[in-house]
Structure 1
Amino acid sequence: MAAQPKGPASYFPSIEAKYGRSIEEWKNTLRDSGVSSHKELVEFLKTEHGFGHGHANALVQHHLHPEKWSV
């Protein structure tokens, strides 16, 4: 049995299902957004793409600190 993802990655299946793009596509969108702080990126996802706070926070956390969260 595969280990359950922990941390931000535990949200990834829900994010992909709800917002219709792969995590890699969303990370590219964050890179191309023109903003870099955690708070700004969370707000970008919420206002421009309709993310809920938890999903936006998880994606941004993983995007900014991938070394901390292995998938």
Structure 2
Amino acid sequence: MADGNRRWARASGLGDVNDGHRRGADKISEFLGWCDDVGVEVVTLWLLSTDNLSRPESELRPLLGIIEGLVENLAEP
């Protein structure tokens, strides 16, 4: 489960927590590359908890957009 991106963004002094979510999405792609390199054939990703759905819409909407973009990129051949 991708967790802590918002906390990391705040601790790193980033002005927008969505920057943390974007960096987390980039790290997922990198992680999947590592899995492929070592022959891991199946990976389960949990990209959003039900707790995240209670966040303010101003934070949730961009987060869902980041997740959508990640899934679209992962689905490309």
Greater relative contact order, per chain length (Cα 8 Å cut-off, separation 6+): 1
Q: With the length of structure 2 as denominator, give the TM-score of the two structures.
A: 0.34
Larger Rg: 2
